[in-house]
């Protein structure tokens, strides 16, 4: 998980306003404008009449889609974009537009171009399976026999794929087929886009492209979703085997008899339920739970750590507050567990309850449902991360630092003043870590320039020029504040999650995972077998890979749940770092990074793809210590 909770969008006359002029003549590659970051691409807005949810199902949609097509074509013609993820996004828009226009050959050509850019084997093999089967079935049986023909085509395409490679993707796709509905999509548009259109009269390009994806899904996917679920279920039943788990054999457990020292680690996250970890908490002996700043350090009741609220002000609460979700947290957590089970093809009571609940939702109820899922993700996140970080390490002492995110739709507005308070909270947090003697900190969160822009546009800042300028200003404050804070503590190792957007953290400007600092390491996610997850972000700043798939850990109240994400991979790396520091308190961040990298095992066929190996890293430390004596 990154800063966005979980992850993130009628026209008679459409006028497009562009941030920068776009060449409309055909261009050669040498004539194109070279793009090195996502921010350099133009912004668009689309004035519309009525609401976005009305447009989604209106017969005016083709005119709207034609305008979007023209803009995407111009961007592809005028800009030299080297980033595969960005190109895949643009190709995906064109693929859906051609599909909606009935240009199936062209649609499949765009799909082929997108697949050619995919560097993850599982994603490349499963990309567009439904699209390809749909087109083949349409040509084979355009009439009453279409659904049966589609199921046959899909089964033929999917059954020939290497199961151990595509298993996770097929299971997730089967789960999506079981819960996706038109009410769910219309409800999302009503909650996320209609308020913006009501205030400004326009859609941004991200919103427009999301509408196109939804319209395509409604016309192509929803009519065959039962067939998709049935075909994928048959494949799962026929091939149900557990992928080998490489992590248990690599794990190291320290015992109370190990020659080691207590080590303070920071869990800088959305909040932690301290009651879950008795005996494993950092303790400020000068403070007590009495509503008073006993030690005069500016923090009230900071016995086990500190916290900052949504606006960047200090707060003594270490667990994400329930707020307007009070009394609903248990149900929200149940839905979250059901969602995870559903997308992992686990037939649990929670998954069944979730499917029943989603099927009953009217569009106007979707907003509350989305907010409950986003709340649950934030509510559990820090506790889950903390449990991973201290597994097998009785010497770890958790210092909690709560950094608050919003789960509402839309998210609370970001202003320059709020960003400045956040930036100050970054430095205050790092200063606190330093004074407490923290050796390593986990940061399974971050900000992206695109995300800041999304918060602004969802709050009615849709003029392209104003939106771009405000985004750069606010993001710049957050970026500089966080960078300078981390750089001010060279003695602390900061470990950050790469992100879950399957993108390049450098091109998309993801902070802090794109920072180049000697005391920071960025971690991406693989599954139980060491294969890249479909969601993990990458880029040259990614140093190591760790388990981020269905990792079991604690949640508030002391129960356990499995969760996936680079948010889970990062604390697995912190777990190793904390054990190294406990075994040798004299280690520096640079030395710990070296031990983690040199002890890692390269993935077969790719020497730069380093899978952490705690046993080997700790063995290297022991050998170095023996040699020194």
Whether the link from the prior residue into 533 is cis, omega within 30° of 0, is no
Say if residue 148's pLDDT is above 80. yes
Q: What pLDDT band is residue 25 in, cutting at 50, 70 and 90?
A: very low
Euclidean distance between CA atoms 394 and 258, whole angstroms: 10
Residue 575 pLDDT exceeds 80: yes
Q: Does residue 625 surpass a pLDDT of 80?
A: no
CA-based torsion, 52, 500, 498, 373: positive or negative: positive
Q: Which of 463-467, 520-524, 573-577 has the lowest mean pLDDT?
A: 463-467
Residue 9: its pLDDT value, please?
23
Q: What is the 3-state secondary structure (H, E, C) of 131-145?
A: HHHHHHHHHHCCCCC
Residue 502 has what pLDDT? 79
Task: Check residue 173 and give its pLDDT.
Answer: 94
Q: Which two tokens stand for residue 464?
A: 């392209």
Q: 534 near 565, Cβ under 8 Å?
A: no
The closest alpha carbon to 580, from 536, 547, 607, 620, belongs to 620
Domains of the chain, by residue range, sit at: 17-239, 248-329+365-628
How far apart are alpha carbons 91 and 35 in whole angstroms?
17
List the one residue out of 58, 91, 100 whose CA is nearest residue 219: 100
Instruction: Indicate whether 4 pLDDT > 80.
Output: no
Structure confidence at residue 30 as a pLDDT band (50, 70, 90) = low
Is residue 373 within 8 Å of residue 256, measured between CB atoms? no
> Which range among 5-14, 52-61, 157-166, 585-594 shows the weakest confidence by mean pLDDT?
5-14
Q: Does domain 248-329+365-628 have CATH number 3.90.1150.10?
A: no
Q: Residue 20: which pLDDT band, with cuts at 50, 70 and 90?
A: very low
Q: How many H helices and E strands in the chain?
A: 21, 18
User: Are residues 519 and 492 in contact, defined by beta-carbon separation less than 8 angstroms?
Assistant: yes
Mean pLDDT of 242-253: 92
Distance CA 219, CA 625 (A): 64
Report pTM. Answer: 0.88
- In this predicted structure, the answer to whether residue 238 has a pLDDT above a threshold of 80 is yes
The per-residue pLDDT for range 496-518, each reduced to its tens digit, is 999 888 777 788 789 999 999 99
**pLDDT mean across residues, the chain:** 91
Q: Report the 10 Å Cβ neighbour count for 359.
A: 12
């Amino acid at each position: 998980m990154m800063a966005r909770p979980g992850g993130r969008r009628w026209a008679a006359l459409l006028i497009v306003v562009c941030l920068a002029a776009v060449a409309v003549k055909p261009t050669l590659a040498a004539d194109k404008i070279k793009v090195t970051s996502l921010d350099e691409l133009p912004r668009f807005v689309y004035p519309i009449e009525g609401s976005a949810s009305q447009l989604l199902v209106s017969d005016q949609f083709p005119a709207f889609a034609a305008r979007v097509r023209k803009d995407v074509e111009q961007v592809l013609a005028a800009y030299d974009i080297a980033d595969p993820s960005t190109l895949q996004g643009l190709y995906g828009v064109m693929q859906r537009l051609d599909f909606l226009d009935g240009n199936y050959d062209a649609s499949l050509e765009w799909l082929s171009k997108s697949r050619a850019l995919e560097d993850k084997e599982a994603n490349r093999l499963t990309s567009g399976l439904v699209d390809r089967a749909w087109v083949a079935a349409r040509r084979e049986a355009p009439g009453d026999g279409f659904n049966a023909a589609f199921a046959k085509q899909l089964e033929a395409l999917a059954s020939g794929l290497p199961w151990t490679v595509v298993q996770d993707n097929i299971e997730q796709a089967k789960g999506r087929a079981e819960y996706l509905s038109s009410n769910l999509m219309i409800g999302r548009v009503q909650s996320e886009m209609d308020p913006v259109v009501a205030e400004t009269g326009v859609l941004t390009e991200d919103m427009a492209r999301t509408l196109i994806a939804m319209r395509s899904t409604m016309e192509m996917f929803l009519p065959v979703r039962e067939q998709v679920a049935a075909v994928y279920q048959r494949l799962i039943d026929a091939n149900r085997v557990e992928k080998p788990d490489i992590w248990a054999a690599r794990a190291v457990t320290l015992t109370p008899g190990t020659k080691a020292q207590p080590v303070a680690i920071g869990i800088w996250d959305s909040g932690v339920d301290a009651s879950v970890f008795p005996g494993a908490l950092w303790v400020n002996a000068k403070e007590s739970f009495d509503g008073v700043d006993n030690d005069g350090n500016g923090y009230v009741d900071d016995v086990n750590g500190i916290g900052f609220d949504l606006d960047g002000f200090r707060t003594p609460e270490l667990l994400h507050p329930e707020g307007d979700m009070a009394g609903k947290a248990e149900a929200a957590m149940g839905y979250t567990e059901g969602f995870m089970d559903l997308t992992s093809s686990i037939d649990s009571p929670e998954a069944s309850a979730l499917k029943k609940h989603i099927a009953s939702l009217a569009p106007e109820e979707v907003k509350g449902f989305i907010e409950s899922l986003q709340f649950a993700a934030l509510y559990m996140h820090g506790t889950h991360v903390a449990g991973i970080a201290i597994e097998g390490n009785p010497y770890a002492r958790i210092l909690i630092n709560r950094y608050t995110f919003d789960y509402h739709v839309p998210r609370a507005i970001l202003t320059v003043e709020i960003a400045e308070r956040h930036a100050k909270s970054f430095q205050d947090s790092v200063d606190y870590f330093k004074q407490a003697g923290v050796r390593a900190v986990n940061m399974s969160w971050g900000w992206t320039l695109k995300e800041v822009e999304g918060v602004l546009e969802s709050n009615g800042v849709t003029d392209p020029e104003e939106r771009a300028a405000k985004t750069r200003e606010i993001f710049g404050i957050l970026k500089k504040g966080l960078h300078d804070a981390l750089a001010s503590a060279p003695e602390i190792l900061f470990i950050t999650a790469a992100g879950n957007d399957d993108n390049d953290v450098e091109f998309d400007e993801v902070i802090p995972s794109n920072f180049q600092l000697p005391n920071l390491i960025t971690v991406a996610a693989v599954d139980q077998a060491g294969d890249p997850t479909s969601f993990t972000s990458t880029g040259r700043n990614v140093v190591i890979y760790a388990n981020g798939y269905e990792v079991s850990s604690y949640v508030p109240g002391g129960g356990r749940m499995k969760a996936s994400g680079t948010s889970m991979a990062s604390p697995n790396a912190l777990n190793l770092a904390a054990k190294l520091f406990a075994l040798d308190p004299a280690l520096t961040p640079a030395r710990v990074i070296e031990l983690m990298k040199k002890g890692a095992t390269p993935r077969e066929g790719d020497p730069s793809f380093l899978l952490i190996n705690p046993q080997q890293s700790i063995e290297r430390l022991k050998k170095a210590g023996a040699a020194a004596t």
